[in-house]
Amino acid sequence: MRQVKYLALIALDPVPARPDALAMPKRAKTRAPRQYANHTHTLMVRAQSLASPGYSRCFPAELSWDDEVPLHPGDRAEVTITMTDDEVPAFFGAGQRFSLWDGAEIGHGTISRRLAFFTEGGPC
């Protein structure tokens, strides 16, 4: 399996404004805004195929950045995305847009450039 790293700019969607408490149904549950620690493995990265634009796929990913401050909804950041899958290069390249998923779409981003990729035996 190949491990591929990309530099990307991401934006987490802001938390939607909470509707008036009186207008909410009694059983409606609101989810607390989530924060993401550096080197998070909780997000999936979804992109369309570079060769077949109608085909998209989600990849498990590690996102990391320069400081240890967690990311919150509404934040923007330059991150390193590390994915381990042989099909990654068919979905990601400079300028490719993607979505961030955590059970639902929570943000988006654009690949700046590929940093490196490795196989089990070393660099390719």
Number of other residues whose CB lies within 10 A of the CB of residue 101: 17
Averaged pLDDT of the chain: 86
Domain ranges of the chain: 3-15+36-123
Residue 117 has pLDDT above 60, yes or no: no
Query: Could you give the CA distance from residue 56 to residue 108 in angstroms, rounded to a whole number?
Result: 14
pLDDT score recorded for residue 69: 94
Query: Does position 97 have pLDDT exceeding 80, yes or no?
Result: yes
Mean pLDDT, to the nearest integer, of 49-72? 94
Whole-prediction pTM: 0.80
Q: Which residue has the tokens 């990307």?
A: 8
Check: CATH 2.40.30.10 for 3-15+36-123? yes
Quick one: average pLDDT of 12-22?
Answer: 71
Q: Checking DSSP bridges between strand 97-101 and strand 105-119, what pairing results, if any?
A: antiparallel
Split at pLDDT 50, 70, 90, the class of 88 is very high
Mind listing the pLDDT tens digit for each residue in 28-59?
A: 555 556 899 999 999 999 999 999 989 999 99
